[in-house]
Amino acid sequence: MTDVRRAIPSVSTLLDSAGIRALFDVAPRTLVVDAVRDVVSRVRDGARAAPEDEEEWTRAVTERLAASHRPSLRPVINATGVVLHTNLGRAPLAPSALDAVAAVASGYSNLEYDLAAGTRGSRYEHCAGLLRELTGAEDALVVNNCAAALVLALNTIASGREAVLSRGELVEIGGSFRIHEIMEKSGARLREVGATNRTHLADYARAVGPSTGVLLKVHRSNFAVAGYTAEVEPRALVPLAREHDIPILHDLGSGLLIPLDDIGLSGEPTARDALAAGATIVVMSGDKLLGGPQAGLILGAERFIAAMRANPLARSYRVDKMTLAALEATLALYRDPDIARREIPTLAMLGASIETVRGRAQRCAAAIRSAGVECELVDTVASVGAGAFPTAELLSVALALAGDAERWSAALRAADPAVVGRVQDGRLLLDMRTVPDESVAALIAAVGTARE
């Protein structure tokens, strides 16, 4: 037996010590016992150094107990420079969206109640009017996410029939979401046309027949094709679709409600553009570029949307009141595009000038240095994320912390709130484009506590 092991007190000895007995006043006995057992077993396994005296044991158990009280899901400061980071919860919500969530979630609401008539209403009414107004769609339906929107649309429109899709759009979005696998689950049969790099209208025309249910267009999202390429725009598919009376379903992925050319993000259609170009149904996410809660928006022809609403699958993809409240408040900001760009956090981050980001980085660096941590400013390239504008490069500025990058990463991930940066060339970078001004003080405090 090593010296360390011999020095480990038994669980019952520790539970008898005054410091640990005091913890029974602040936490249930079973949790205290679990915390003691946990610390003892980690010391035994060599996962942590053995506390030297009773006071140190008490501190170790108290820390363990506090950690067990911390919620599993908690706030994180995103210093990665990826604005829409799927692992970090995608879009932060606008203040008015947060207020709307609190207002409906803290009490009862008219979620499925028609206040004018005093009868049962439908949850699907709540965002439909705003979506029609903002996109020109005949009708709209909100479900749990874009993946659900796609399955519901395909299942309703093309179950048992073929969905014609270019081989260049057979994408994997991430997190095991692959278009052909989703399609199989929806009951539609995939009919691949064209080649990976080039697909022509004639390829679609040859594939269309009595068993065709839908012409599908899918946004490539997380990659770009360059070189010898050709694809068919939805607009060019319209005559073929009309001739055979087949709907066109366009999965926009991230999806825009307003153009973002003025902040350097161009080349993507808005939902309104996609519908005007002839898509029968458009689907898009609520928590990507739109900047709202996780949701899937289905926009387009009334008769198909009515059929989707009546599809029993819709029940399993339905959204709750908090989502609808956040989405409605976010959509309302789009009535004035300038307000949307200012108030919706993701749009504000994407649109912030490099001078704004640099100024924030300079203030942050000064505070960190005066706390005794060496750091320097480096020019970086931030990105949009979530499969939107995959090749766009957003100029940004990061703080590079002096010292072991892996140690800094681990220590900042353990901070409260946790800070997630990125390691580059052996240094930890904290990209300031994705850290809003309101989080700067917390970031500085986290660096202060995480230093050696």
Ligand X SMILES: *Cc1c(COP(=O)(O)O)cnc(C)c1O
Q: Which residues bind ligand X (CB under 6 A)?
A: 145-147, 173, 177, 218-219, 221, 251, 253-254, 285, 296, 387
Determine the residue with CB nearest ligand X: 253
Q: Token match 């609401």: residue? A: 109
Tell me the closest approach of the beta carbon of residue 21 to ligand X, in angstroms.
50
- SS3 per residue for 2-53: CHHHHCCCCHHHHHHCHHHHHHCCCCCHHHHHHHHHHHHHHHHCCCCCCCCC
Tell me the closest approach of the beta carbon of residue 173 to ligand X, in angstroms.
5
Q: Can you tell me the distance from the alpha carbon of 83 to that of 90, in angstroms, rounded to the nearest whole number?
A: 8
Task: Return the number of the residue (58 or 383) whose C-beta is nearest ligand X.
Answer: 383
Tell me the closest approach of the beta carbon of residue 359 to ligand X, in angstroms.
33
Q: Can you tell me the distance from the alpha carbon of 107 to that of 121, in angstroms, rounded to the nearest whole number?
A: 18
Task: Return the number of the residue (253 or 421) whose C-beta is nearest ligand X.
Answer: 253
Task: Return the number of the residue (34 or 231) whose C-beta is nearest ligand X.
Answer: 231
Tell me the closest approach of the beta carbon of residue 251 to ligand X, in angstroms.
5
Q: Which amino acid is at 123?
A: R
Residue whose C-alpha is closest to residue 291's, from 221, 344, 222: 344
Q: Can you tell me the distance from the alpha carbon of 162 to that of 301, in angstroms, rounded to the nearest whole number?
A: 20
DSSP three-state, residue 440: helix
Task: Return the number of the residue (51 or 247) whose C-beta is nearest ligand X.
Answer: 247
Distance set, CA 390 to CA 221, 290, 404 (Å)? 7, 16, 31
Q: Where does residue 309 rank: exposed (0-12), middle (13-18), buried (19+ CB within 10 A)?
A: middle
> What residues does 431 pair with on adjacent strands?
398
- The residues near 344 (Cβ < 8 Å, ≥ 6 apart) are 91, 94, 291, 330, 333
DSSP three-state, residue 428: strand
Task: Return the number of the residue (169 or 343) whose C-beta is nearest ligand X.
Answer: 169
DSSP three-state, residue 1: coil
Task: Return the number of the residue (186 or 285) whose C-beta is nearest ligand X.
Answer: 285
The three-point CA angle 12-14-19 to 5° equals: 140
Residue whose C-alpha is closest to residue 216's, from 296, 279, 302, 295: 279
Q: Which amino acid is at 396?
A: S
Tell me the closest approach of the beta carbon of residue 220 to ligand X, in angstroms.
7
Task: Return the number of the residue (146 or 325) whose C-beta is nearest ligand X.
Answer: 146
Task: Return the number of the residue (220 or 309) whose C-beta is nearest ligand X.
Answer: 220
Tell me the closest approach of the beta carbon of residue 20 to ligand X, in angstroms.
46
Question: DSSP characters for 345-365?
Answer: HHHHHHH--HHHHHHHHHHHH
Tell me the closest approach of the beta carbon of residue 317 to ligand X, in angstroms.
10
Task: Return the number of the residue (60 or 153) whose C-beta is nearest ligand X.
Answer: 153
Task: Return the number of the residue (273 or 444) whose C-beta is nearest ligand X.
Answer: 273
- Structure-token pair, residue 392: 């766009």
